[in-house]
Amino acid sequence: MSKKTVLTFRSNNSRATMNLGRSFAAYMRAATIVCLFGDLGSGKTTFVKGLAKGLKIPANKVHSPSFTLMNVYQGKLPVYHLDLYRLEDPQQVMGLGYEEFVFGEGVALVEWPERFGPFMPTDYIKIEFKHVARDRRRIFVSIVGKSYQDFFNHIQEDKVELK
């Protein structure tokens, strides 16, 4: 099997994006960091809802923490849902318990990770959402750093796909 460096998924509705998130839940481990890139309304929170659901967190508990910057949900693993859109000073991110999620038991799902600035993690799962048309999105998955190679091999070997 040829090894890819980027996996591309095509989503035709929000349910498909949620289902992809849900499929990814099985691969989450303690201290996993997932950075979600993409414009406003491209589907980042929708994906988080699906992933949370896969960790037994009801989707209606999941809301973008736009003003508080971070929500914590308790599921099979603790989920730290960050939305850094309104982060003014990257230094602020250090007050959120950033170390707790990096070194702790939880999974960090980060919207607007660009705002990390100098605190951008060195290793993370990278998911990019591209708005193609009203209900169509292209979702690109890759890894940055070496820590998530096993994750990336597994989603390829298991042929995770949109349903």
Ligand X SMILES: Nc1ncnc2c1ncn2[C@@H]1O[C@H](COP(=O)(O)OP(=O)(O)OP(=O)(O)O)[C@@H](O)[C@H]1O
Interaction site with Mg ion (CB under 5 A): 44-45, 64, 111
Residue 38 makes contact with ligand X by CB under 6 A: yes
Q: How far is the CB of 79 from ligand X (least distance, A)?
A: 15
Rounded to the nearest 5 percent, the helix, strand and coil shares of the chain are 35, 30, 35
Residue 46 makes contact with ligand X by CB under 6 A: yes
Q: Which amino acid is at 13?
A: N
CA atoms of 56 and 48, how far apart (whole Å): 12
142 binds, among ligand X, Mg ion, none (CB under 5 to 8 A by kind): none
Q: How far is the CB of 46 from Mg ion (least distance, A)?
A: 8
Q: Which residues of 74-108 are buried (b: 16+ CB within 10 A; e: fewer)?
A: ebebbbbbbbbbebeeeeebeebebeebeeeebbb
Q: How far is the CB of 83 from ligand X (least distance, A)?
A: 6
CA atoms of 102 and 107, how far apart (whole Å): 8
Query: For ligand X, which is the closer residue by CB, 63 or 120?
Result: 63
Tally of CA atoms within 13 A in the half-sphere of 132 that contains its CB: 14
Q: Which of 27, 35, 44, 148 binds ligand X (CB under 6 A)?
A: 44
CA atoms of 145 and 139, how far apart (whole Å): 20
Query: For ligand X, which is the closer residue by CB, 17 or 23?
Result: 17
State the Cα torsion 84-90-91-93 to the nearest 10°.
Answer: 20
Residue 64 makes contact with ligand X by CB under 6 A: yes
Query: For ligand X, which is the closer residue by CB, 33 or 109?
Result: 109
Judged by CB under 6 A, which stretch of 34-42, 91-99, 117-125, 147-155 contacts ligand X?
Answer: 34-42
By CB under 6 A, name the binding residues for ligand X. Answer: 11-14, 16-17, 38, 40-46, 64, 83, 111, 129, 135-137
